[in-house]
Chains A and B, each alone.
Chain A
């Protein structure tokens, strides 16, 4: 009997499909439900010259630290809690290492919606009169309405181009092997839009269960992702660490350790050796050990 495709994959399976120069979208928001296991895998890989589209947090920071980012499209980059500004994104910007296509937060949503609907652009008011047009260096244009307003004047709006992605990476709390998935926290963020805007769609999840268990474990409205928009499913318990997901909070202490480690070469080298130049299982083990060390030090 024919069966639905089992999309269960390893992080290595995903990395093997990456190509230099790809445009990738990363789901979540700031330091909220980011697909950090996938981000760590990309940071460890040999891929380079990436264009990244995101509501940015430590995901962009880690990719900048690894020298993977050539260009970034983002509404903001924030750690959401002290020290707020990501140190590696800041270094990449102040050294001029990346091309910034900064935009209003609403423009990110708009561009993903255009790509999801296979439209070349969608009109939006946000961006007019601001420095966003300067950031885009001629790439961002306006569009005039064919319909005049009641007073005879005509609206000219930002023509937000589709943010078409070669690949999208998202983290959901619970999924099945076919790519159906649900969020259990308070906000879906924009993960369905990132997947809908992409050619290749990668989902990591804290739990991978049977379809029956998935649909019985959450309210129907939480089934944000269906299998049409997923190519691979990776089981990554605690994969969103040190951002938060539905089942666990943000690891604020570890996030501060990450940010403080960016201060000089020696401390970053130590952080990198222990937490980044290792596979995901070792990362999780080392994080647990680090947390125990912090407890002992108290």
Chain B
């Protein structure tokens, strides 16, 4: 298949999601990109192969990759990053993580711990993991492959990732809180709405404002005026399809 002949109609929802995830890292510079799912992983590697060559990426275990291999592949190494050194990087602020979320509210509070009361939940997930430390220390974005009102409720059950309404302006320890983006199967969002609330930056082609409103448990700022998500460039499509994800693993994560 020649990508030069690709028309916009051929571009899949997952490919819009991947390029939106790549755009999370625009301007990030020489920091560690830590994507925690397939779509943002392809996105981070796409950014590294295009506009952000100085990003550090790892194999998800303990090795820093010198090259930018396909999803699921490893390759030459440029350094060592065992778990305890990841916490040093977190504290340094030189990192941008893209986490998943069981719940996200309109201020960017996130839950991946459990549903229900703290000491007797109705459903147990992972616990808070690194979410409190990530969100308080360095840029954090979220990836949601199935945008529903259950994932975006008015309130999260357990605050794992810290949202903007928790910031104490008098305490400089909160100064680095930066929930940068939320990329979903429906669109791209940030928290620049009134009072640091969730705002629509763009909706993927074919997605309507009504569809987003129906699937979000709170009002989304600028939803009616949000433009269409920019189409991937021919270069981006070639890299996604031929270099990074030839088996199209991206499609498994994206509800369309």
Contact = CB atoms under 8 A, between A and B. Distances in A.
A128 B127 CA distance: 16
A128 B91 contact: no
Nearest to B59: A186
B101 to A, nearest CB: 14
B126 A85 contact: yes
Contact of A130 (B114, B119, B125, B159): B159
A103 B126 CA distance: 11
Contact of B132 (A89, A99, A128): A128
A93 B158 CA distance: 14
A130 B171 CA distance: 15
A99 B158 contact: no
A127 B63 contact: no
A16 B87 CA distance: 36
27 contacts: A75-B127, A76-B129, A77-B124, A85-B125, A96-B119, A102-B113, A102-B128, A104-B129, A106-B90, A106-B91, A124-B91, A125-B137, A126-B90, A126-B91, A128-B136, A129-B135, A129-B166, A129-B174, A130-B135, A130-B159, A131-B113, A131-B160, A132-B132, A153-B171, A187-B82, A189-B83, A189-B84
- Mostly, the B contact residues are loop
Interface in A207-265: none
Contacts of B153: none
B63 A186 contact: yes
A151 B168 CA distance: 15
Interface string A119-152: 0000011111111101100000000000001010
B128 A187 contact: no
B122 interface: yes
Interface residues of A, number: 47
A23 interface: no
Contacts of A96: 119-120
Contact of B173 (A75, A107, A157): A157
Contacts of B167: 129
A273 interface: no
Instruction: Report the 8 A-B pairs with minimum CB-CB distance, sorted nearest first.
Output: A126-B133, A129-B166, A96-B120, A90-B124, A130-B132, A129-B162, A104-B132, A187-B82
A130 B87 contact: no
B73 interface: no
Interface of A: 29, 56, 74-78, 84-85, 89-90, 93-96, 99-100, 102-107, 109, 124-132, 134-135, 149, 151, 153-157, 186-190
A154 B119 CA distance: 33
Contact of B118 (A100, A104, A107): A100
B174 A104 contact: no
Interface in B179-220: none
A107 B87 CA distance: 9
Contacts of B36: none
A158 to B, nearest CB: 9
B97 to A, nearest CB: 12
A99 B136 contact: no
A189 B90 CA distance: 16
Contacts of A124: 91, 133
A127 B171 CA distance: 14
Nearest to A193: B84
